[in-house]
């Protein structure tokens, strides 16, 4: 895939300020897309990503939108509409990457209704309504890419509600793909395994034993890096992936084979 494969396109990446989303935003920016870098709290991190895209010769802007509350998706698009004209006259969007997500969860015995509601609100309800309100802005031939997780397929009862959110997201992918196929819009999930981001920093970084364990879960024998996931997203966003839709693409480096 050459650079500038996405020239003239606009991409929204939720949670684009850190971790996997940051790598996705940087990669789509390098590929020529104008990137809206979504974030909730860490404005500095979002600005760093925007500056990084610009340093690579691309176009990006930061978009603050806290997800997980009623009205969050409508507010996100309102903020997007207010910004996009300055960057891409005429507005609209070609690629929506639903990446923002939270991992806070527990086993069933430790699960509270509040924690269940929170993880579903951010990981499931927000993508549903981002797409619902985004469809009028999403051009025909566009892309929706949902960042799922290997745990939608691999049992991990320690984080049972989180796993359920990703199962729901994959089902959303399936149904959306069927609904949007006639418009030439493809919809896919990408399902990472353990990736070296802030979510895992506490138990993984600097702990050789934990790292060896995490690496041993992947057939390819290492912990995933954000760029491993971003490159797959870039493929799905490109014209080369035009004939793939409704699928969950495994991005675990071969976990649970
Ligand atoms: P991360 O490093 O914690 O980054 C999360 C990003 O999402 C940040 O940009 C953050 O912005 C944003 N975000 C968090 N809560 C938000 C909210 N309520 N509203 C709006 N934005 C919010 O996460 P990550 O590890 O890169 O994970 C990204 C996605 O990959 C998630 O969907 C996750 O479930 C999935 N995933 C991760 C792994 C892994 O091992 N890391 C494995 C499988 C799947 P702020 O900093 O401004 O809050």
pLDDT of residue 2: 54
pLDDT of residue 3: 66
% residues pLDDT > 70 (the chain): 99
Our mutation pick for probing the ligand 1 site, out of 18, 73, 252, counting the most ligand atoms within 8 A of Cβ, is 18
**pLDDT of 239-254, one tens digit each?**
999 999 999 999 999 9
Q: How many CB atoms lie within 10 A of CB 89?
A: 7
Q: What is the 3-state secondary structure (H, E, C) of 106-146?
A: CCCCCCCHHHHHHHHHHHHHHHHHHHHHHCCCEEEEEEEEE
Crossing angle of the two packed helices 126-134 and 160-180, in degrees rounded to 10: 20
User: Domain 10-195+226-245 sits in which CATH superfamily?
Assistant: NAD(P)-binding Rossmann-like Domain (3.40.50.720)
The answer, yes or no, to whether residue 18 has pLDDT greater than 60, is yes
Q: Which atom of ligand 1 is nearest to the CA of 20?
A: 26
39 catalytic per annotation: no
Among residues 102, 108, 218, the alpha carbon closest in space to that of 159 is found at: 108
Domains of the chain, residue spans = 10-195+226-245
Under 8 Å between Cβ of 21 and 67: no
Q: Which atom of ligand 1 is nearest to the CA of 16?
A: 9
């Amino acid at each position: 895939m050459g650079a500038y494969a996405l020239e003239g396109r606009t991409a929204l990446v939720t949670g684009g300020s850190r971790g996997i989303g940051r790598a996705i935003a940087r990669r789509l920016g390098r590929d020529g897309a104008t990137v809206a870098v979504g974030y909730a709290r860490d404005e500095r991190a979002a600005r760093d990503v925007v500056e990084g895209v610009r340093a690579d010769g691309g176009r990006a802007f930061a978009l603050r939108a806290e997800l997980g509350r009623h009205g969050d998706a409508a507010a996100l698009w309102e903020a997007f509409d207010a910004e996009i004209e300055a960057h891409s006259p005429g507005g609209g969007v070609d690629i929506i990457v639903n990446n923002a997500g939270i991992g806070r969860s527990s086993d069933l015995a430790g699960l509270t209704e509040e924690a269940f509601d929170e993880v579903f609100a951010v990981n499931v309800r927000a993508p549903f309504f981002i797409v619902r309100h985004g469809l009028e802005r999403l051009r025909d031939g566009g892309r929706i890419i949902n960042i799922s997780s290997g745990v939608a397929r691999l049992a991990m009862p320690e984080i049972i509600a989180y796993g359920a959110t990703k199962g729901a997201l994959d089902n959303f992918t399936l149904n959306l793909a069927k609904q949007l196929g006639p418009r030439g819009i493809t919809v896919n999930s990408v399902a990472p395994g353990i990736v070296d981001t802030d979510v895992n920093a506490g138990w993984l970084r600097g702990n050789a034993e934990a790292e060896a364990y995490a690496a041993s879960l992947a057939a390819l024998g290492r912990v995933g890096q954000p760029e491993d996931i971003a490159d797959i997203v870039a493929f799905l966003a490109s014209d080369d992936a035009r004939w793939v839709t409704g699928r969950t693409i495994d991005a675990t480096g071969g976990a649970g084979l």
